[in-house]
Amino acid sequence: MKWPASRILESSPKSFGMYEKSIPLMEQGLDLIHLEVGRPKHDTPINIKEATKRALDDGLVHYGDFAGNLNFREALSEKLAAVNGIRASVDEILVTNGLTHGAYVTCHAAVDPGDEVILLEPYYPQHINKIELAGGKVLTAKLDRAAGFRIDGDAIREKLSDKTRMIAMVNPANPTGRVFSREELQTVADIAIEHDLLVMSDEVYEQILYDGNEHISIASLDGMRERTISQFAFTKGYAMDGWRMGYMAAPQEFMAAFLKISMNDVAHVNVFIQEGGYEAITGSQDCVREMVADDKRQRDLVVESMNAMQGVSCPAPQGTIYAFPDVSSFGLPVATIADEILEQTNVVVEAGTFYGAGGEGHLRICFGAEPYERLDEAMQRLHAYFAGKVAAK
């Protein structure tokens, strides 16, 4: 008996990085401080929970619209126009099981065997399997590290071929914490238009911005609406990671293909949680502002603490819940540093190379996953660790 299918064996192994390495220690009962997993510490706002409970009590428990509840898509259409500058009708929106599902649907609808998809590196690694399982090949174009991981148009152009089908990007960016400027996005847009490419734009961190930085949806730029699949989720901005709910917007002519994948995959998203999503979109946004203000307080703690550590440099992230400190001065592979930190301090951080070779010399620290006091304790432990490295030189 043949098992499994070749596409499983021939695609890249699925890894959960340092979290995977921490599991045996957790099973031993060790109290680890988790700064490696990108999950919000906040609880889902109460008004969203109550709306979902009401939907259950009102009997919203049966099959729904394959594309998503109509009232929900109407609210999303209004939000996209007002916030993102994307004019999408209800027939150009698909509600998904999180942004992960949206990316899966996109790759399987858009990518043929042999097609190439360009990721901006350091990249979000979970996109790789989706592309490969669809039969595509992943190429990476490095962001300009010397310029704070800005988009480098020349690096993208060097990867282009007659097989290039799509550019995939995350903005605000995981893992670097960058918010790409209009000028940078225009660079991607110019390349996509010139070479007739699709763009898959992951915008899950759109609401988590600091210091006046502005999030711009690439689909809002001239000539990009017709070639961009814009993807969003409630995961981070509304602290709804366990709800598994997102949405995507794209031209109507793309939707039949997306629905063919989605209907065979999940039929449709759970109908009553969509009422929670409706409340999130249409209700007060004070909860989002409060959570982002708290995230900023924790960001500032990490940036100040890391920059006080000898041999460490940590630019302030412009968005997201991640810091990307530079520890290259120690001359060790960053994977070794992450392993040592886990073994010696019981703090779990991610190696920058989890996000591709372009992340070498960096750690990714999620400052939004633990309470402030635990985060402060983690910073003290890291300070002791790096002080010991300096003393040993």
Q: What pLDDT sits at residue 252?
A: 96
What structural domains does the chain harbor? Answer: 6-43+286-392 (3.90.1150.10), 46-282 (3.40.640.10)
Q: In sequence order, which residues have a C-beta less than 8 Å from that of residue 192 and are 6 or more positions away?
A: 167, 198, 199, 224, 227
Cα(328)–Cα(201) distance, integer angstroms: 30
Cα(299)–Cα(220) distance, integer angstroms: 29
- Residue 315 DSSP label: P
Cα(264)–Cα(335) distance, integer angstroms: 39
pTM of the model: 0.95
Structure tokens at 156: 């993208």
Q: What pLDDT sits at residue 8?
A: 87
Q: What pLDDT sits at residue 382?
A: 98
Q: What pLDDT sits at residue 50?
A: 98
Give me the DSSP letters along 3-31: -S-HHHHHSPPP--HHHHHHHHHHHTT--
Neighbouring C-alpha atoms within 13 Å toward the C-beta of 4 = 6
Cα(354)–Cα(198) distance, integer angstroms: 26
Residue 365: phi and psi, rounded to 5, are -120, 120
User: Which class for 252: exposed (0-12), middle (13-18), buried (19 or more C-beta within 10 A)?
Assistant: exposed
The Cα angle at residue 270 between residues 267 and 275, in degrees rounded to 5? 135
Q: What pLDDT sits at residue 392?
A: 79
Give me the DSSP letters along 40-59: --SPPPHHHHHHHHHHHHTT
Q: Which of these, 84, 94, 61, lies nearest to 171 by C-alpha position? A: 84
Q: In sequence order, which residues have a C-beta less than 8 Å from that of residue 60 and are 6 or more positions away?
A: 271, 272, 275
Per-residue pLDDT of the chain in tens (393 residues, 90 and over written 9): 989 988 888 888 877 888 889 889 889 989 999 999 999 999 999 999 999 999 999 999 999 999 999 999 999 999 999 999 999 999 999 999 999 999 999 999 999 999 999 999 999 999 999 999 999 999 999 999 999 999 999 999 999 999 999 999 999 999 999 999 999 999 999 999 999 999 999 999 999 999 999 999 999 999 999 999 999 999 999 999 999 999 999 999 999 999 999 999 999 999 999 999 999 999 999 999 999 999 999 999 999 999 999 999 999 999 999 999 999 999 999 999 999 999 999 999 999 999 999 999 999 999 999 999 999 999 999 999 999 988 877
